[in-house]
Amino acid sequence: MENEELKKLLNDMNTKIDTLFKIVEKDSNVIQKEAIAIEKEGIKIEKTLEKSLNIVSEKFDEIIKLFKDKKEIVEVKVKENPIAYITGTLVGGMLLGYLIGKGKEDKNKK
């Protein structure tokens, strides 16, 4: 009698173990599918960031080129008439100093 009960218990345990393995296998498949989906999304994001970085880099290069071109133009104009540019800088500096002083003066009155 004990032998039969032991066999029955072993069969029940084997059945429960098989059921648990099936559940774990299903869960691992779901997790694996989610991991693959996350990886694909990560790759998409990486490609998008790479494209965006390339666009920003190209725009930055264009801006640098534009500044270099403008710098050359300004250097030529200053060489043609340096006194006019020095005078303009002096007057602009004086005007800026006056406005800053006026702003501080108004701020202190409040």
- The predicted-structure confidence for 73-90, as pLDDT tens digits, reads as follows 888 888 888 888 889 899
Q: How confident is the model at residue 11 (pLDDT cuts 50, 70, 90)?
A: confident
Q: What is the mean pLDDT of residues 13-19?
A: 89
Alpha carbon distances (Å) from 24 to 15, 17, 21, 27: 14, 10, 5, 5
State the pLDDT at residue 62.
Answer: 94
What one-letter code names the amino acid at 52? Answer: S
DSSP state, residue 49? H
Confidence (pLDDT) at 51: 94
Tell me the C-alpha distance between 16 and 24, whole Å. Answer: 12
* Amino acid present at 19: T
- Sign, Cα dihedral of 26, 30, 35, 36: positive
pLDDT of residue 21: 85
Under DSSP, the state recorded for 110 is -
Contacts of 78 (CB under 8 A, 6+ apart): 85
pTM of structure = 0.45
Q: Is residue 110 scored above 70 in pLDDT?
A: no
Average pLDDT, the chain: 87
Looking at residue 6, what is its pLDDT? 83
- Angle at which helix 2-80 crosses helix 82-109, to 10 degrees, equals 120
Higher pLDDT, 109 or 28: 28
